[in-house]
Amino acid sequence: MSFVDAATAKYNIHQFRQQGLEAIEEIRQRGCTPVIVGGTAYYVESLLFEENIIETPESSNNVKELENLESLSNSELHRRLEEIDPQSARLVHPNNRSRVLRAIEVFKLTGTLD
């Protein structure tokens, strides 16, 4: 969403879905057809298929662990991913911080990378 400052805001798929559906409804009430463009397929699909959204419990332990990951360097994060799933680590470049971090987050929150 263009109103979110990606550098400072914590904005997740659940917030996106809620605000996206509200915007779609407002557009439809004006008699117009909403058009969704850009972003990742996961976010776009969240508007269509709620069951595809990964639940992310916000326990204090999980939040603290994830905050600790933010302080690691790219190479440290990639080493963590290699420990969790060497095959996935080979597919993601160490400098692609957001993908490495997301893979680790999904594993920590769900216990699996699938």
Long-range contacts of 85-93 (CB under 8 A, 24+ apart): 85/113, 88/113
pLDDT at 91 over 60: yes
The string of pLDDT tens digits covering residues 69-78 is 888 899 999 9
pLDDT of residue 1: 56
Q: What mean pLDDT is reported for the chain?
A: 80
Query: Is the confidence at residue 105, as pLDDT, over 50?
Result: yes
Domain range list for the chain: 13-52, 60-110
Residue-level pLDDT at 38: 76
DSSP string, 3-68: TS-TTT----HHHHHHHHHHHHHHHHHTT------SS-HHHHHHHH-GGGSPP----HHHHHHHHH
CA distance readout (Å), 7 to 4, 17, 33, 53: 9, 20, 31, 23
